[in-house]
Amino acid sequence: MSSSSSPLRIGFVMLHTSPLDVPGTKDAGGMNVVVRAQAEALARAGHEVRIFTRRSDPAPPDQVELRPGLTVVHLAAGPARLLAKGEHESVMERFGELLEVELQREPVDLLHAEHWFSGIAALPAARRAGVPLVQSYHSIAAPVDSPLTDGERPESPGRLAGERRLAHEADLVIAVSEAERRTVLERLGGDEDRVRVVPLGVDTELFHPCATRDCMEDRDWLSSGGRPEAIVVGRLHPLKGFDLAIDAVAAIDAERRPALRIVGAPPPDGDDYVRALHDAVARHGMLRTTAFDGALRRSDLAERIRRAAVMLVPSHSETFGLVALEAAASGVPVIARAAGGLREAVLDGETGMLIGSGSGTGAEDADDPTVWAAAIDRLLGDAELRERMGAAARDHALARSWDASAARLAGVYREALGR
C-alpha cells in the first residue's frame, strides 16, 4: 500500500464526453466540471493524473497537457465525431482495449471511472493491469417508465444492468451526496461497505459575490428594466424543469415579476424541449423579460450568476446540483426543489428555500408553479432576507473547496489500494 504522502498515478476514465468540452453544451455538464476540478486539484497536490476520453473530434492531438501533472489522452474508439449519448454503448469494448494498451505503455496505480460507459469499458482493463477500479456514476438511470423525479432514463439498453454490475464489481463506489449513496444501495443493490461519499466542491474565486459598483447596480436592478433577475442554469433537458421556472415566473403579478435568464444549451437530441420553452415564454407574454443566453463559459456564467437576485433550481432530480453551490458561492440565494442532492446543497431557510420539503411555503406541491411563485415573490420582496441568505450561502460555499474534495478522494483511492 502506498503511504499517505506518496504521489499516486491516477487514470480518470471519461468515455463519452471530454474534459475539454464546454459545460452546458453537448452532453457536457456537471460531470465535466467535477472531473476537471478534481483532476486539477489532485495534480496541484502532486499526483500524476491522466484523463482517458474518446476522440470525438479529429483535431486535437493524442495527448493534451492541461497543466503539469494533468494530461488528457484521446482514444480513437469509434468515429471521430460526436455521438448521441446512447451510441456510446457500442464503443465501450473498443475503448477498453485501447485503454489497456495505454496502461501497458504507461501504468497507473488505479482507475477512476466516470459514468457507467467508462466503468464497463475500464473494468477488464483494470483487472488485467491488476489495479483497483473506483466508480463514480454522476447519475443513475431510472427504469424507462418511472417519473422524472426518479432521474434520467437509460439512453441505451445496457445501462441498468451495467450500473448494477459496477455496484458489485468496482472496488469502491463514490457517491457525491447521501442521496446518491442511498440510490446506489437501494436501486443498484450496492454493498454498504464499499460506497464512500465524497462531497463536491466549488471554485469560490471564480464564483464570488458582486465586487464592483457596476455589478451591484445591476444586481440592485437599476438596469434590466428595473426588474430583479431570476436565473436558471443547466443543460436544456426536461429533467431540469426549466418549464416550471417559466410558469412560476409567469404566475407572479406582472408588475412584480422578475426578469428570467435561462443559461445553457440542449443536449444533442434536445431541440423539442428548447422549442417548448420558447413557446411557453411567448404564450405567457414574457418575450421582453426573458433571455436565452445559450451555453456560457465559466467566467461569463459566474458574472451572470452574481448579478442575479435569485437562482431557481426546479430539477426533478439532481445527484448533487452543482449550480446551487455555484450560486451560493456567488452570494445568491437559491430556491430549489427538495430533490436528491439539492437537499444537501441548499440549507432550507438559511441559504435559500427548498420547495416540497414540507416547510416554508404552505401547500408545498413542488410541481405547482404558484407555490414557486409565492417563494420567489417572498424572497424578492424582502431585501433583508435576501441579504441574510446570500451571506449564509457564501459562508456555506467557502467551506467546500475543491482541494478538500480532492483530498478526500485521494483518501478513498488509498483505501482502494489497500483493500
- Using the rule CB under 6 A, is 314 a contact of ligand UDP? no
- Burial class from Cβ neighbours inside 10 Å (0-12, 13-18, 19+) for residue 418 reads exposed
User: Three-state DSSP class for 402?
Assistant: helix
Subset of residues 200 to 219 that bind ligand UDP, contact rule: CB under 6 A? none
- Using the rule CB under 6 A, is 263 a contact of ligand UDP? yes
- Using the rule CB under 6 A, is 23 a contact of ligand UDP? yes
Residue range at the interface with ligand UDP (CB under 6 A); choices 119-127, 319-327, 356-364, 400-408: 319-327
- Using the rule CB under 6 A, is 111 a contact of ligand UDP? no
Beta bridge partners of 49: 10, 70
- Using the rule CB under 6 A, is 233 a contact of ligand UDP? yes
Residue range at the interface with ligand UDP (CB under 6 A); choices 53-61, 80-88, 186-194, 321-329: 321-329
111 residue type, one letter: L
- Using the rule CB under 6 A, is 353 a contact of ligand UDP? no
- Residue with Cβ nearer ligand UDP (296 or 354): 296
Residue 349: which residues within 8 A CB-CB, separation 6 or more?
359, 360
Subset of residues 285 to 304 that bind ligand UDP, contact rule: CB under 6 A? 295-296, 298, 301
What is the arrangement of strands in the sheet containing 63-67, beginning at the earlier edge strand?
63-67, 70-75, 48-54, 9-14, 110-114, 133-136, 172-175, 195-197
Backbone angles phi, psi at 353, to 5 degrees: -130, 140
Instruction: Choose, by CB under 6 A, the member of 115, 235, 307, 316 that binds ligand UDP.
Output: 235
- Cβ 254 to ligand UDP, closest distance in Å? 28
Q: Dihedral of the CA atoms 169, 91, 75, 130 (nearest 10)?
A: 20
Pull the grid cell for residue 329: 458561492
- Using the rule CB under 6 A, is 340 a contact of ligand UDP? no
The bridge status of strand 334-337 relative to strand 352-355 is parallel
- Cβ 383 to ligand UDP, closest distance in Å? 26
What is the arrangement of strands in the sheet containing 352-355, beginning at the earlier edge strand?
290-294, 259-263, 229-233, 310-313, 334-337, 352-355
Measure the CA–CA gap between 266 and 27, rounded to whole angstroms.
Answer: 8
- Using the rule CB under 6 A, is 114 a contact of ligand UDP? no
- Residue with Cβ nearer ligand UDP (89 or 203): 203
Cα–chain-centroid distance for residue 356? 21
Sign (positive or negative) of CA dihedral 379, 385, 390, 395: negative
Write the DSSP assignment of 145-172 as a string of letters.
Answer: TS-GGG-PPPSSTTHHHHHHHHHHHSSE
- Residue with Cβ nearer ligand UDP (175 or 322): 322
Residue range at the interface with ligand UDP (CB under 6 A); choices 24-32, 163-171, 221-229, 387-395: 24-32
User: Three-state DSSP class for 284?
Assistant: coil
- Using the rule CB under 6 A, is 33 a contact of ligand UDP? yes
Residue range at the interface with ligand UDP (CB under 6 A); choices 29-37, 141-149, 280-288, 349-357: 29-37
- Cβ 180 to ligand UDP, closest distance in Å? 12
- Cβ 91 to ligand UDP, closest distance in Å? 22
Instruction: Choose, by CB under 6 A, the member of 321, 333, 356, 390 that binds ligand UDP.
Output: 321
- Using the rule CB under 6 A, is 264 a contact of ligand UDP? yes
- Cβ 66 to ligand UDP, closest distance in Å? 17
- Using the rule CB under 6 A, is 234 a contact of ligand UDP? yes
Q: Are 321 and 245 in contact (CB under 8 A)?
A: no
Sign (positive or negative) of CA dihedral 84, 17, 318, 114: positive
- Using the rule CB under 6 A, is 308 a contact of ligand UDP? no
Measure the CA–CA gap between 266 and 306, rounded to whole angstroms.
Answer: 23
- Using the rule CB under 6 A, is 15 a contact of ligand UDP? no
Sign (positive or negative) of CA dihedral 177, 178, 182, 185: positive
- Cβ 136 to ligand UDP, closest distance in Å? 12
- Using the rule CB under 6 A, is 24 a contact of ligand UDP? yes
- Residue with Cβ nearer ligand UDP (33 or 140): 33
What residues line the site for ligand UDP (CB under 6 A)?
23-24, 29-31, 33, 233-235, 263-264, 295-296, 298, 301, 320-323, 326
